[in-house]
A and B are shown apart, each in its own frame.
Chain A
Amino acid sequence: MADSICRTLRDGALEGELAPTLTIKDSLASPFAFHVFSHILLQLSSHVMAQKSQSQGIVIVALSQSPSSYTALLKRNGVDVTSSSKWIHVLDCYTDPLGWKDKTRKPVNVVTNVTDPSHQISLATSSYKTVKDVDKLFSVITELGRGLVGENKSRICVAIDSLSELLRHASLQSVAGLLSNLRSHDQISSIFGLLHSDLHEERAVAVLEYMSSMVASVDPYHPSADVQKGCLENSLYEQNFTKGKFNVRSKRRNGRVRVTCEEFKVGPGGIIFTSGSSVDGTAIAAGLLPKVQFNLQLSEKERIDRSNVVLPFEHQGNGEPIQIYDGRRSLEENSSEANPTSSGKKEDSGMGEIIYFRDSDDEMPDSDEDPDDDLDI
């Protein structure tokens, strides 16, 4: 499913349609939306570099991660960062979202940052210091996009690494307006953003989900496991930090909604999606079988033999009249059914009556006495 999301984002927008938008949402019980976000970002980067995608550049709006962490992420996954400035640009809303550092920032700091060996080659970055001004953010994003791909018809992809952070700084209306403007901009091919759903009111989440053509929800593997409930649930709680469920709801243009579910595992290397809970399901079922001395499963030969056995009702029908015993009449009677006299008798006896003779007068009706108490054992 993660692949199909990436394909949709890669294929981008049709002429005269809104750009496909993905919201990745998670909760504290399974806080892996950023893993999904980086996975999609890496997939898209490889598509953009291979020029297989509609978008020719990516603008990352970094609100919750530092630009250097994106450099590290790309480097770690073997993306060539030296030539990255042609197709990727980080809009740094993380380092100084409110302009507090402007007052104290001396030029010395900038120099130390540049000479720091670990950040020798980093992604092209521009900083943005008024996150509360969402309208300006929109124009900055589109400007950066034009800077990457030029004025022509080519498009860019926008990645917003925390819609939650944006919602904290600005009102829901303005964030929704930003998304809507981005979606309808003709130089934007796709948008994806990250949302921590439990930080916001339900209506905020719903608004953003309405504006997304795809919603990927990262859910805990064991939804009921909560560390508050004590030690018994602890192992389940720990499992929630290695794997989870990935539910995708995608809306087609005609309004059809498709919901798919898969599982993922999180390891030091990143996130790995495993499609099909069914595979896991049989494995679990096999594991649940008790270990017994005798064989509960059939071998292949036994299975074939079993399928060759002709069951009793299957004899019937090869040339002979079908006779199925219905449990009331004997087969002989059945065969002579045409005999009118016998059927007449049956009707007579069909009236039905119960004839009961009391054994003796001294027996009380429905007496409790033991009928066998005169037995001498």
Chain B
Amino acid sequence: MMMMEQKNWNLLDEALGFHSNNANPWPLCGRFLLVEDCVDTSAAFVLHHILKRAFSSHPSSAVLFLAFSHPFSHYDRVLRKLGCNLAAQRDNGRFFFLDMLMLQCPDEGKSNHDGLASVFEQIERVITVLHQDKRPISIMVDDISFLEVAANGSSNDVLNLLHYCHTLTSDYGCAFIALDHKDIYLNGDRDAIILEMEYLADILVKAEPLATGLAKDVHGQLKVLDKETQHQYGISAIKTHNFHFKIKENGIECFYPGTKI
């Protein structure tokens, strides 16, 4: 079983440290992973991949998923293709799906903070229960930009929520994984939120189209920047990884540029 799994590690797993067989079953513990994509190249597959790995990392690991862009049925279908049954995990108490599709914070007349504060309250309630069993926990947000829409465009409120989620990484050793779109912030003055998130992130995964244009066999490139951070398990040095990927029906294929035949 172990050997089989080892064969399946791809470059993304290596870049995120999933392949290392050390005492830490879930290398994202206590870290904030930010996935950035753009219109041309969606990075939703990175979330799917991490979700799958999160369940296989530890028999009792749990995932709290804040869905802003897709309903549960969507993720259930996608993950089923990857060989992971989300409905079963949900019934086992390992997958907590918070449907935020219809989230709308109160208008500016009232205070916005209450809306997101109650979201955080929901998150924290789940986390505190899970933490009592010392289970590795991952929190995933599938689209920060929709969170911003729900917060009536107030990036400050979004950053507050992100900050609070970030405190969970140090308080409970949770992994925090979020996806956002880089190109919606290209408009100069509104870029503070993405910059702030990049400062906050311990690991940055950027999905971009190929610089040379479209290709049949390569769907895009991933750049992984693993910043040096101090965490529970010591210090990890800065690492950068750069590779191409191809999304298949039941998984992804990662390879170094030029090595695909």
Query: Do B199 and A227 touch across chains, with their CB atoms under 8 A apart?
Result: no
For the complex, give the distance between the alpha carbons of A97 and B156 in Å.
13
The interface bits of chain B over 175-215 (1 if a CB of A lies within 8 angstroms of the residue's CB, else 0) are: 00000000000000000100110110000001000010000
A108, B129: Cα distance in complex, Å: 11
User: CB of B57 within 8 A of chain A?
Assistant: no
Q: Whole-angstrom distance from the CB of A309 to the nearest CB of chain B?
A: 53
Cα(A69)–Cα(B170), bound, Å: 8
Bound form: Cα–Cα A337–B168 in Å: 98
B-side contacts of A69, CB under 8 Å: 170, 230
Q: Is the CB of A100 within 8 A of B120?
A: yes
Which A residues are in CB contact (< 8 Å) with B5? none
Q: Which of B117, B131, B171, B195 is within 8 Å of A199, CB to CB?
A: B195
User: Are A66's CB and B238's CB within 8 A?
Assistant: no
Let me know if B128 and A109 touch, CB within 8 A.
Answer: yes
Q: Are B167 and A118 closer than 8 Å at their CB atoms? A: no
Give the complex CA separation of A267 and B238 in angstroms: 8
**Which residues of A sit under 8 angstroms from B257, Cβ to Cβ?**
231
Closest to B235 in A: A268
B72-80, B140-148, B158-166 - the one binding chain A: B158-166
In the complex, which residues of chain A have a beta carbon less than 8 angstroms from the beta carbon of B163? 97, 165
Closest Cβ of chain A to B218, distance in Å, is 13
Main secondary structure of the interface of B (DSSP, over half): helix
**Minimal Cβ-Cβ distance residue in B for A101:** B124
CB-based A-B contact count at 8 angstroms:
82
Within 8 A of B (CB), among A79-115: 94-98, 100-101, 103-104, 106, 108-109, 112-113
Residue A273 interfacial (CB < 8 Å)? no
Interface segment, one of A6-14, A234-242, A312-320? A234-242
Kindly report which residue of chain A lies nearest to residue B167, judged by CB atoms: A95
Which A residue sits closest to B199, measured CB to CB?
Answer: A196
* Total chain B interface residues with beta-carbon distance under 8 A: 37
Chain A residues in 8 Å Cβ range of B159: 168
Q: Is the CB of A100 within 8 A of B198?
A: no
Residues of chain A lying within 8 A (CB to CB) of residue B156 = 168
A137 at the interface (CB under 8 A from B): no
A72 within 8 A of B: yes
Tell me, in angstroms, the Cα distance from A106 to B129 when the chains sit together.
12
Quick check: B230 and A28 within 8 Å, CB to CB?
Answer: no
Decide yes or no whether B246 CB sits under 8 A from chain A: no
Q: Are A231 and B170 in contact (CB under 8 A)?
A: no
Contacts of A112 in B (CB 8 A): 131-132
Q: Flag whether B104 is at the interface (Cβ < 8 A).
A: no
A68 interfacial by beta-carbon distance below 8 Å: yes
Question: CB distance A266 to B228 under 8 Å?
Answer: yes
B259 an interface residue at 8 Å Cβ cutoff? Answer: no
Instruction: Identify 18 residue pairs between A and B in the complex whose beta-carbon atoms are under 8 Å apart, listed by A's number.
Output: A28-B199, A31-B227, A66-B170, A68-B170, A73-B230, A94-B170, A98-B160, A100-B121, A100-B164, A101-B164, A103-B117, A104-B125, A112-B132, A164-B196, A165-B163, A231-B257, A241-B240, A268-B236
**Besides the contacts A68-B170, A168-B159, what 5 more A-B pairs have beta carbons closer than 8 Å?**
A104-B121, A196-B199, A199-B195, A241-B240, A267-B237
